[in-house]
Amino acid sequence: EAGVAQSPRYKIIEKRQSVAFWCNPISGHATLYWYQQILGQGPKLLIQFQNNGVVDDSQLPKDRFSAERLKGVDSTLKIQPAKLEDSAVYLCASSPPGTAGGPTGELFFGEGSRLTVL
CA distance 43 to 73: 22
- Integer angstrom CA distances of residue 65 from 12, 15, 97: 17, 14, 27
Question: Binding of another protein at residue 115 (CB under 8 A)?
Answer: no
Stretch of 19-27, 65-73, 80-88, 107-115 lying at the interface with another protein (CB under 8 A): 107-115
Per-residue contact string for residues 7-46; x = within reach of another protein by CB under 8 A: ---------------------------------xxxxxx-
Q: How far apart are the first and last CA of the chain?
A: 37
Beta strand pairing status for 113-117 and 10-13?
parallel
Q: Whose Cβ is closer to another protein: residue 78's or residue 114's?
A: 114
Q: Between 50 and 79, how does the x/- string for binding to another protein read (CB under 8 A)?
A: ------x-----------------------
20 strand-pairing partners: 78
Residues that bind another protein (CB under 8 A): 4, 40-45, 48, 56, 91, 93, 98-100, 102-112, 114
